[in-house]
């Protein structure tokens, strides 16, 4: 349930909107139930990510977001308000989240991309053995947009390219709706990390998603032991 049925008028900033949109593409959701006139935002996650959701609550405090820590899984929630009803009408069809050319343009600030990456992104340091016996170590980033269709992923891919000058690849998988976005060129990985780092640096529990040099070195050391 929402915190309250709130008729208050909020002056939402572009930063606040982008945090909500980036999170909505990731772990967040909007709910519109029963007799409630307006929708509300909600998001929950594991205990180790509480500092991340505290950061979101602080960023969105002027919209009266609260972090509820008394439940089993800590939850970030907003009051119900027309702001979220308008977003619900943009981002939901038949109660299912969607990406369209019309709604994705609201993701236009790096802080929104940072929230999507912290919610659903993964930095992995892979390795492979070459024919001459040497080990090749390489990074990749996956953004697990498996809840969206191939067409929706292409919309997101094109928008990220246009809005943030970042190149991603469409990758097919067997799970979910079968597609996600991936970055496997080092220059593009560095560019993404540089884009989102100013925001992620404020959240220590998320540093592992941007510590490329440290994780690369740790992987290299594994082969020296």
Whole-number pLDDT of residue 150: 98
Radius of gyration of the chain (CA): 19
CB 180 within 8 A of CB 144: yes
> Token pair of 35, please?
């007799």
Predicted confidence at residue 206, as pLDDT, reads 96
Q: What is the pTM of this model?
A: 0.91
Give me the pLDDT at residue 2, please. Answer: 55
- Ranges for all domains in the chain classified under CATH 3.10.28.10: 110-222
What is the predicted pLDDT for the residue at 147? 95
Collect all residues with Cβ–Cβ distance below 8 Å to 207 and sequence separation of at least 6.
Answer: 200, 201
Mean pLDDT split into 10-residue runs, the chain, 225 residues: 68 97 96 86 88 96 92 88 96 96 98 97 84 77 96 98 97 92 94 97 96 83 70
**What confidence score (pLDDT) does residue 13 get?**
97
Q: Which fold has domain 14-98?
A: Endonuclease I-creI (3.10.28)
Q: 110-222: which CATH topology?
A: Endonuclease I-creI (3.10.28)
């Amino acid at each position: 349930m929402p915190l309250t049925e709130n008729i208050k008028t909020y002056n939402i900033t572009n930063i606040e909107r982008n945090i909500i949109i980036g999170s909505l593409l990731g772990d967040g959701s909007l709910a519109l139930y029963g007799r409630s006139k307006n929708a509300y935002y909600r998001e929950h996650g594991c205990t180790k990510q509480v500092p991340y959701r505290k950061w979101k609550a602080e960023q969105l405090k002027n919209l009266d977001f609260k972090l509820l820590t008394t439940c089993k899984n800590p939850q970030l929630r907003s009051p119900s308000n027309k702001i979220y009803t308008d977003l619900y009408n943009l981002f939901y069809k038949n109660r299912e989240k969607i990406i369209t050319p019309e709604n994705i343009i609201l993701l236009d600030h790096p802080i929104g991309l940072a929230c999507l990456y912290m919610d659903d992104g993964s930095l992995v340091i892979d390795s492979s053995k070459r024919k001459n016996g040497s080990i090749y170590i390489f990074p990749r980033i996956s953004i697990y947009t498996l809840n969206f269709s191939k067409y929706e992923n292409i919309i997101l891919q094109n928008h990220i390219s246009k809005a943030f000058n970042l190149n991603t690849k469409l990758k097919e998988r067997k799970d979910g709706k079968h597609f996600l976005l991936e970055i496997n060129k080092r220059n593009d990985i560095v560019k993404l990390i540089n884009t989102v780092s100013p925001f992620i640096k404020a959240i220590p529990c998320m540093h592992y998603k941007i510590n490329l040099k440290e994780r690369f070195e740790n992987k290299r050391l594994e082969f020296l032991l």
